[in-house]
Amino acid sequence: MRLDGKNIVVTGGASGIGRATVLEMANLGAQVWCGDIDEAGGAAVAEEGGNSVNYVRLDVSDAAAIDGFASAVLAAAGQIDGVVNAAGWDRIEPFVNNTPEFMDRVIAINLMGPVRVTRAFLDGMIERGEGKIVNVASDAGRVGSTGETVYAGAKGGVIAFTKSLAREMARYKINVNCICPGPTDTPLFQGQPDKMRAALERAIPFRRVATPGEIANGIIFFASQRSTFITGQVMSISGGLTMVD
């Protein structure tokens, strides 16, 4: 499953699932453009990835920043063959405690970020009649999650966005698919209370959480030529935690 000669954008590429995706795509021959607000983490992943990884600062909650990021990447790369929307953010707390500012930030990062980043790179794919869009949502968007109500709503929106865009882009031979991770060993998960982490591990049939690399494998499948006849699909990677249609 090679990605030789492909230019691929990965948002949220400085840590967690995004970082694992960036480095594995680079190993598979892609030229990867890592966008992240974390400059230190972005520089570190670019150094680890060598000449195959390029870091460009990106705040996915800022529409103007997304436009600037896309302009810089397209000027350097010439064209983009795939976009992976992996950036995300949340904080666990009851919905009734959510402030308007918190809700706006969750929606800006988790829903409008993928929408705007995708739009910024779509014209070139339409013109060439090919491309891969992979959105990273969450199983919270499929089945709900206590303490993550607005986040679940935003990720549910990403799932619906994926399916609708897939229908519109099929005529241009652009594949649009979605990965829904379950609990994964990322910095966000590590920041949860020990009791919560242990309860989630017990609830998963495999009795452990995913590694970022295991989620990256699904992303790379959708970004590769192995998925040319797959579009509008949602892949749950949760160790069996959410066995629903």
**Domain contains 104:** yes
Tens-place pLDDT, residues 54-87: 999 999 999 999 999 999 999 999 999 999 999 9
pLDDT range class, residue 244, cuts 50, 70, 90: low
Q: Are strands 31-36 and 82-85 parallel, antiparallel or unpaired?
A: unpaired
Q: Cβ(157)–Cβ(85) under 8 Å?
A: no
| Neighbour count for residue 116 (Cβ, 10 Å) | 19
**Domain contains 223:** yes
Residue 57: CATH number of its domain:
3.40.50.720
- Please report, in angstroms and rounded to a whole number, the separation of the first and last CA atoms in the chain: 28
Tens-place pLDDT, residues 82-114: 999 999 999 999 999 999 999 999 999 999 999
Catalytic residue among 33, 55, 69, 151: 151
At 245 the pLDDT is 56
**Domain contains 207:** no
Residue 128: partners with Cβ closer than 8 Å, 6 or more residues away: 79
Mean pLDDT of 40-46: 98
Q: Cβ(14)–Cβ(34) under 8 Å?
A: yes
**Domain contains 79:** yes
Q: Say yes or no to pLDDT of 189 above 80.
A: no
Q: Say yes or no to pLDDT of 1 above 90.
A: no
**Domain contains 205:** no
Tens-place pLDDT, residues 138-184: 999 999 998 999 999 999 999 999 999 999 999 999 999 999 998 88
Name the residue range of residue 13's domain.
Answer: 7-186+212-237
pLDDT range class, residue 50, cuts 50, 70, 90: very high
Tens-place pLDDT, residues 222-237: 999 999 999 999 999 9
Domain count, the chain: 1
Mean pLDDT of 120-149: 96
- Cα gap 157→91, rounded to integer Å: 18
**Domain contains 157:** yes
Q: Cβ(106)–Cβ(152) under 8 Å?
A: no
**Domain contains 80:** yes
Mean pLDDT of 130-141: 97
Q: Cβ(209)–Cβ(241) under 8 Å?
A: no
Q: Say yes or no to pLDDT of 188 above 80.
A: no
**172 flagged as catalytic:** no
**Domain contains 227:** yes
